[in-house]
């Protein structure tokens, strides 16, 4: 592989001039620039990123760490990140921790190894000690996207989960529902916690008692929706609406409802969360909370790069969601309707 030395020899200049001609053309005579460029092309020059990084102490590379690649929810977010990073001349790598802390640690170590400049974290399922030291200092530049942590303060880009969940539940209440169940994500996850909080807030506001047996812990997956849905619907007194913390779970509920011959939305309303592509194609089309995934990715990347550039940006950004009403929700049967004065 050709180096600056080869170019220098061919162009009859020093390596310093080669470096300048290539990186800062304005610092060099027009003629020199042309000669150097021609020489570089001729020898097939490709800069050695290791040498440059070693010298500059930065790599212009960041890594996105996800807990599980199979979750297609992340694809759009990562895409938004790459889009933005490339505009700023940064490279993006993806690391799949596969829910293995050792692997996650390996990715974080890339910062200390000087292989990447910073980390975008797409999971909150990481022990706090891996992220901050004893004195509460961040161990490396990191921004959380979509997820967030409650016990420490990390730069983060996310939606307002409490507000979004509250709005979704209020929408059901206003239609007359009060027998509302909820399928959550893992309750160790702050996102799930926040969404349950949103539900409770809505209930409190409308003076509806919470039936704790109807708040069931899932894991965002289709199968959790299917199984917990069966548990809810396979009794005499089932809810008239189920608010799910993910579209996947909502689609699982749709499936078990169909198997049990429960008509959606006539007998049962189902509301999801995320607005994944498939939510428009299932039967019936799903009412859900839209998350601006591209924007989350883009914003998180911008935040990280601004931090790396020492721009002291606002370290917490909340992005807007949107309740998208489709065909899986309707007022409950008249005999189960809430009697309230609006």
Partner DNA sequence: CTGAAAGCGCTTACAG
Q: Which stretch binds its own copies (CB under 8 A): 117-125, 169-177, 219-227, 307-315?
A: 219-227
At 99, list the tokens.
Answer: 């829910």
Q: Which stretch binds DNA (CB under 7 A): 18-26, 136-144, 175-183, 189-197?
A: 18-26
Q: Is 9 in the site for DNA (CB under 7 A)?
A: no
Bridge-partner residues for 145, per DSSP? 157
Site string for DNA, 33-62 (x = CB under 7 A): ------------xxxx--xx-xxxx-----
DSSP 8-state code for residue 126: S
**Which of 32, 146, 164, 240 is in the footprint of DNA by CB under 7 A?**
32
In whole angstroms, give the CA distance from residue 308 to residue 192.
Answer: 30
The listed partner (DNA, its own copies, none) that binds 28, CB under 5 to 8 Å by sort, is: DNA
In whole angstroms, give the CA distance from residue 270 to residue 244.
Answer: 8
Q: Is 54 in the site for its own copies (CB under 8 A)?
A: yes
DSSP 8-state code for residue 332: P
Q: How do strand 180-184 and strand 241-244 relate by DSSP bridges?
A: parallel
**Which of 10, 19, 159, 286 is in the footprint of DNA by CB under 7 A?**
19
In whole angstroms, give the CA distance from residue 243 to residue 180.
Answer: 7
Q: Helical H runs in 234-337?
A: 247-259, 293-308
In whole angstroms, give the CA distance from residue 59 to residue 56.
Answer: 8
Q: Is 69 in the site for its own copies (CB under 8 A)?
A: yes
Residues 6+ apart with CB under 8 A from 230: 256, 260
**Which of 3, 25, 114, 160 is in the footprint of its own copies by CB under 8 A?**
114
What is the footprint of DNA within residues 96-115 (CB under 7 A)? none
Q: Which stretch binds its own copies (CB under 8 A): 59-67, 149-157, 176-184, 289-297?
A: 59-67
Contact call for residues 77 and 122 (beta carbons, < 8 A): yes
Chain residues binding its own copies by CB under 8 A are 1, 46-51, 53-54, 59, 61, 63, 68-70, 72, 74-76, 78-79, 82, 86, 91-96, 98, 103, 106, 109-110, 112-115, 222-223, 226, 255, 278, 281, 283
């Amino acid at each position: 592989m050709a180096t600056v030395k080869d170019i220098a020899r061919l162009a009859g200049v020093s390596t310093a001039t080669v470096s300048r001609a290539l990186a800062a053309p304005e610092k060099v005579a027009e003629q020199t620039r042309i000669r150097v460029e021609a020489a570089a092309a001729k020898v097939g020059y490709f800069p050695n990123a290791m040498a440059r990084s070693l010298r500059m102490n930065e790599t212009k590379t960041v890594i996105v760490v996800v807990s599980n690649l199979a979750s297609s929810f992340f694809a759009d977010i990562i895409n938004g990140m790459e889009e933005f990073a490339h505009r700023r001349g940064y490279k993006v790598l993806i690391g799949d921790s596969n829910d293995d802390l050792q692997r996650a640690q390996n990715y974080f170590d890339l910062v200390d190894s000087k292989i990447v400049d910073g980390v975008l974290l797409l999971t909150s399922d990481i022990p706090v000690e891996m992220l901050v030291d004893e004195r509460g200092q961040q161990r490396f530049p990191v921004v959380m996207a979509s997820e967030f942590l409650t016990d420490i303060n990390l730069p983060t880009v996310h939606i307002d989960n409490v507000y979004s969940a509250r709005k979704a539940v209020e929408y059901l209440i206003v239609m007359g529902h009060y027998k509302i169940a909820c399928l959550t994500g893992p309750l160790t996850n702050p996102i799930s916690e926040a969404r349950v909080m949103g539900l409770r807030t809505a209930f409190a506001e409308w003076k509806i008692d919470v039936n704790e047996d109807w708040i069931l812990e899932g894991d965002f997956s289709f199968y959790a929706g299917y199984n917990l849905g069966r548990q809810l619907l396979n009794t005499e007194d089932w809810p008239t609406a189920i608010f799910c913390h993910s579209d996947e779970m909502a689609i699982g509920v749709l499936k078990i409802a169909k198997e049990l011959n429960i008509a959606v939305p006539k007998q049962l309303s189902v509301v999801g969360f995320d607005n994944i592509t498939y939510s428009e194609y299932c039967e019936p089309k799903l009412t859900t909370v839209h998350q601006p995934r591209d924007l989350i990715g883009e914003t998180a990347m911008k935040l990280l790069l601004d931090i790396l550039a020492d721009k002291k940006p606002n370290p917490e950004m909340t992005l807007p969601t949107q309740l998208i009403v489709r065909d899986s929700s309707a007022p409950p049967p008249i005999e189960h309707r809430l009697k309230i004065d609006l």
